[in-house]
Structure 1
């Protein structure tokens, strides 16, 4: 069922239910009012019947005739019964032919007046007492006018109820359509958006309703999708280019070497060139595999407690072996007294890769100038701050540093593939952490890795 029809149906059901309750209350009150009014009429008729039978001689002729003229108008199916007070209930029932309850008989004796409705018949009774004599005066009648009026009322209420439902249905459909019209426009617009026109956006308003929030949310999703497609496109183009270069060099060198017979020295030189390009290709493929691993193995990580200060020392030792000329220094001044504040929960191998990427970049892009590594901790997080004195990142290019294969224009002469920061960024996200980069062109860069410590709940971030 469409939302428009569902809203209309719910609206009709709710209002119809309210009206049904209100109309039922109206009918009940009208019925009670009509019953009470008829009992009052019947009581007056009972009094008149009593006077006409037992007090006729006490009244003047003219007064009695006036009383008859004004009030002695019989009610529908009116019947008058007079019983001696020693008459039993069964005798009264036998005479009136109605199943009169004992309570009615008791009220007639004790209260001198009783009234009751049995089926469609109304009964009113008086206990008339004079000197040593007493009689029961009972009148029965039917409220045919009341029944007719209530019948007309219930027919009117049913008609109004059905008419109201019909009007509510059309009004509900109209307003539901008007209310959901912006949603229909959103659906129509969304159905036109394809990969070729991801730049298009939904029209938004300044209203703070749910539909405006939906449009803004969808536009945000389109922004992320467009960015993802652009990054993917750039990634594929750059990966193809980077993979093609060493393959082209390998094929070119082997093709030239096979054109004619060559000396052992020439073959050795060709093989050395092939080895260089193969190693370059191997490093590039390994970087791609590491980057893909962070995409596919999010739920399969081995999580253990890691002392970051010990890991930094290990990474420093590895870099010293590869690049003995580096000037990476570890600042111990801000180390906490409590060693537990240096512990994070995470995957040892991935965090090792992230730290190695940051420290290697700092040393590489600063031409082996001094690099300072500091650890700043508190109860919530652990920050590793790496400060170098390198070439920095141009302000207009810093927004692209997390794109794979992207390299700033001022470092393209430095060996690398543009995987370091993108891979580190993904590793930090996997560990519920963040990476912050502040850089000044030609002055240096500060990279801060922020981890939640082991006191914080670890969760794999998507």
Structure 2
């Protein structure tokens, strides 16, 4: 079901329920008031008749006839019965009246507590009356024709009003739902125009404050990330094809030249050696791309890992790879509340790889010493800082160095493929950490890696 229809249906049901409750309250209040008014009339009729008969004449029948002629407020189907002391019937307005219901109610009547009951299709009340110290029980019954006519009219008015109100509620619900969802429909139309070739298109954000505007803002943010991902993918494919094409072209040219011109074993071996070096580059690049792809897998098993041991292995490998490079390791202050020092949850091989990539970049692009500091940002965060005094990174390149296969302009003369930092960033983020890079061209680079501890 469309949201528009859901809103109309829910709005209609809610308002209709409120309307029905209000109508029911009005009807109940009027019906109760009618009953109370008619009961008061019946009690008044009963008491007036009793006073007239008992106080004004020794001939009750004559007095009653005179009283009835003067009574302008006659009740439809009026019936009055008076019971004297001992429950004896003293008077009835008609000899043919049945006293079955009246007799059954005699025991219930108490001083100050009238009894209300039904006598066939008539409403009746019984009241207690004290005269000359003697108790009398008086019953009056009748039919409230006017009251029921008004009640029927009220029912008709409420029925017509509710039906008409239902129509108005549906129309109002449709109007307000249309007004509320119109910005959403506009967003839908704009989104339908966005294609892979038009990812730079953005959705109108409206007033920027309501929920639909927040949705548009969120969607625009997602479009920006998707556009950035597409650009990164295009850049990655461009760089990958370029990096693979160069050694493959060199390999092909070497083999073709060897096949056409090598005349002896020495020349063939020299060509083969060149081909092997190019194959190594292809294999190295392929392995790097595979490692980058595998780094997206977050399903690896996490275990407590000593980060200082990972760092020690990375330093050992870097020292063997760059024997002329000087590496300095320092430790920061240790929080007193930390029990398992330098322990983080994660994968030991991946963490070692990320540290090794940082050290490899520092050693590759710096002829001076490399400083490494391992310490705590807080009891729940470990920090590794790798600082060099090498060629640095220019500001335009600094924002893109984490893109796969992207290399800064001043670093293309050194061996590499631009995979290390991208791989390191993915590994660190998979471990719930972050990596920050600060650099200035000609002034060196500082890489800071922060990881959550096992605590």
Give the structure-1-normalised TM-score.
0.89
Aligned partner of 1:236 in structure 2 is 237
Task: Name the stretch that deviates more: 277-286 or 11-20.
Answer: 11-20
- TM-aligned CA distance change 1:182 to 1:128, over 3 Å: closer
- TM-aligned CA distance change 1:266 to 1:331, over 3 Å: same
State yes or no: 1:29 paired with 2:29: yes
Aligned mates of 1:391, 1:101 — CA distance in 2: 117
2:353–2:424 contact (8 Å) kept in structure 1: yes
Shift of 1:56: 4.4
Aligned mates of 1:135, 1:362 — CA distance in 2: 116
Correspondence 1:40-51 to 2 at 5 A: 40-51=40-51
2:39–2:125 contact (8 Å) kept in structure 1: yes
- TM-aligned CA distance change 1:40 to 1:120, over 3 Å: same
- TM-aligned CA distance change 1:261 to 1:394, over 3 Å: closer
1:319–1:360 contact (8 Å) kept in structure 2: yes
Report the 3-state secondary structure (helix = DSSP H, G, I; strand = E; otherwise coil) of the residue aligned with 2:205.
coil
State yes or no: 1:276 paired with 2:306: no
Report the 3-state secondary structure (helix = DSSP H, G, I; strand = E; otherwise coil) of the residue aligned with 2:204.
coil
1:351–1:427 contact (8 Å) kept in structure 2: yes
Aligned partner of 1:75 in structure 2 is 75
Aligned mates of 1:132, 1:364 — CA distance in 2: 124
Question: Per-residue CA shift, 1:9-36, capped at 9, x if unaligned?
Answer: 1112112111211211111111111111
Aligned partner of 2:325 in structure 1 is 326
Report the 3-state secondary structure (helix = DSSP H, G, I; strand = E; otherwise coil) of the residue aligned with 2:341.
helix
- TM-aligned CA distance change 1:155 to 1:98, over 3 Å: farther
Aligned partner of 1:314 in structure 2 is 313
Question: Per-residue CA shift, 1:387-438, capped at 9, x if unaligned?
Answer: 1001111011111011011001111111110001000000000111110100
- TM-aligned CA distance change 1:32 to 1:371, over 3 Å: same
Aligned mates of 1:342, 1:128 — CA distance in 2: 99
Structure 2: segments with no counterpart, 5+ residues:
none
Aligned partner of 1:203 in structure 2 is 204
Aligned mates of 1:223, 1:323 — CA distance in 2: 41
Give the structure-2-normalised TM-score.
0.90
Aligned partner of 2:163 in structure 1 is 162
Aligned partner of 1:460 in structure 2 is none
CA RMSD of aligned residues (A): 2.8
Aligned mates of 2:339, 2:175 — CA distance in 1: 68
Aligned mates of 1:83, 1:279 — CA distance in 2: 124
1:335–1:375 contact (8 Å) kept in structure 2: no
2:78–2:140 contact (8 Å) kept in structure 1: yes
Aligned partner of 1:458 in structure 2 is none
Aligned partner of 1:432 in structure 2 is 432
Shift of 1:155: 1.2
Structure 1: segments with no counterpart, 5+ residues:
456-462
Shift of 1:322: 1.9
Aligned partner of 2:417 in structure 1 is 417
State yes or no: 1:390 paired with 2:410: no
